[in-house]
């Protein structure tokens, strides 16, 4: 048995129950991990509310770091005592201990702490594929990043700046604007009081940006299309404010032959070689100090509901970590 945060029904944070769950012995190709830190991500809220349907009951969570306690048959890459991290299904990270397929794990470099690893794997590999693969940012590109002071946002800002972009970010408050600017954001727009579309046009001399990284969804999608230059790339990768409603694709031609992507990390790291390459690139930018990982808050694992309430009420910045 182990203690875990499980949901038996979808709903608010109160649906999250701290209870005992069975942990099987690791089977072929599997590893038993004792978590030392667990990452909190907005996707955990989508699973909890049912926006992304999942079979119930389920232990929440897709991201964790910890120590290998035991390995099953046919596992050659890891052994007991190794420090490992992951950021993908199967769900079940909000637990003291769990079993994971070995081929979904990466070793944590010795100079990266476990809580930093738990704070960066999912958000950082997302930033890696968005900036390097979905749209490869080039020096001189103007880019727009929504929720720039958030977990993914702060990593995107720093990395995009390093790639030579002019970084425009949107944020919900002046304090968040300051934080985004301290992490590579050249122009922070407080979109709760400023029209981010008009301001982005103004900041780019009317030209528009090469790419918009939009994780806010419903509230920003249409405005984001109007921030793009002709042939620009709209990357819709999240729904923090709700799902983007269906729309007429003819709008993409009318607004300048725009491209639209709706990517997910799960596709970009589905193959083991892509997972390893993405993690390696992330570890490199963190180890070189190009990207600082901000663990803004730590919560006891048993109080994960509090972390969810804070994240969805827009109170937080950077990454949140649960401590078992």
**Applying CB under 6 A, which residues contact ligand NAP?**
41-43, 122-123, 126, 147, 149-153, 171-172, 176, 215-216, 219, 237-241, 263-265, 311-312, 314, 316
Task: Please state the closest distance from residue 146 (CB atom) to ligand NAP, in A.
Answer: 7
Determine the Cα–Cα distance for residues 156 and 161; give it in Å rounded to an integer: 8
Would you give the DSSP letter of residue 204?
T
Task: Please state the closest distance from residue 72 (CB atom) to ligand NAP, in A.
Answer: 29
User: With respect to ligand NAP, which residue has the nearer C-beta, 20 or 242?
Assistant: 242
User: With respect to ligand NAP, which residue has the nearer C-beta, 82 or 219?
Assistant: 219
- 299 forms bridges with which residues in the sheet? 322
Closest alpha carbon to 88 in 118, 66, 63 = 63
User: With respect to ligand NAP, which residue has the nearer C-beta, 240 or 278?
Assistant: 240
Q: Are 169 and 194 in contact (CB under 8 A)?
A: no
User: With respect to ligand NAP, which residue has the nearer C-beta, 32 or 316?
Assistant: 316
User: With respect to ligand NAP, which residue has the nearer C-beta, 198 or 218?
Assistant: 218
Residues shown for the chain: 324
Other C-beta atoms within 10 Å of 34: how many?
A: 15
Task: Please state the closest distance from residue 320 (CB atom) to ligand NAP, in A.
Answer: 8
Task: Please state the closest distance from residue 286 (CB atom) to ligand NAP, in A.
Answer: 16
Burial of 229-248, coded b for 16+ CB within 10 Å and e otherwise, reads: beebbbbbbbbbbeebeeee
Task: Please state the closest distance from residue 34 (CB atom) to ligand NAP, in A.
Answer: 24
DSSP run (H or E) holding 285: helix 272-287
> Using omega within 30 degrees of 0 as the cis cutoff, is the peptide bond preceding 123 cis?
no
């Amino acid at each position: 048995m182990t203690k875990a945060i499980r949901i038996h029904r979808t709903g608010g944070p109160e649906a999250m129950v701290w209870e005992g769950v069975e942990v099987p012995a690791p089977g072929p190709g599997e590893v038993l991990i004792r978590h030392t830190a667990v990452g909190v991500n907005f996707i955990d809220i989508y699973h909890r509310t049912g926006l992304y349907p999942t079979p119930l009951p389920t232990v929440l969570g897709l991201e964790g770091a910890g120590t290998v306690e035991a390995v099953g048959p046919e596992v050659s890459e890891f052994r007991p005592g190794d420090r490992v991290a992951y950021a993908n299904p199967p769900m079940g990270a909000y637990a003291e201990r769990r079993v994971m397929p070995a081929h979904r794990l990466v070793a944590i470099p010795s100079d990266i702490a476990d809580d930093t690893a738990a704070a960066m794997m999912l958000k950082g590999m997302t930033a890696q594929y968005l900036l390097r693969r979905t749209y490869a940012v080039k020096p001189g590109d103007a880019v727009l990043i929504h929720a720039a002071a958030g977990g993914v946002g702060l990593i995107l800002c720093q990395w995009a700046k390093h790639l030579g972009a002019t970084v425009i970010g949107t944020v919900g408050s002046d304090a968040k604007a300051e934080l985004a600017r301290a992490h590579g954001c050249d122009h922070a727009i407080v979109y709760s009081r400023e029209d981010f579309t008009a301001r982005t046009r103004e900041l780019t001399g009317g030209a528009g940006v090469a790419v918009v990284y939009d994780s806010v969804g419903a509230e920003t999608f249409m405005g984001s299309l109007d921030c793009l230059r002709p042939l620009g790339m709209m990357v819709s990768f999240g729904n923090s404010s709700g799902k983007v409603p269906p729309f007429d694709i003819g709008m993409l031609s009318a607004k300048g032959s725009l491209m639209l992507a709706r990517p997910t990390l799960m596709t970009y790291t589905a193959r083991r070689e892509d997972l390893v390459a993405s993690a390696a690139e992330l570890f490199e930018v963190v180890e070189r100090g190009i990207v600082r990982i901000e663990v803004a808050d730590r919560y006891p694992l048993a109080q994960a509901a509090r972390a969810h309430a804070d994240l969805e009420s827009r109170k937080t910045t950077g990454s949140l970590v649960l401590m078992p």
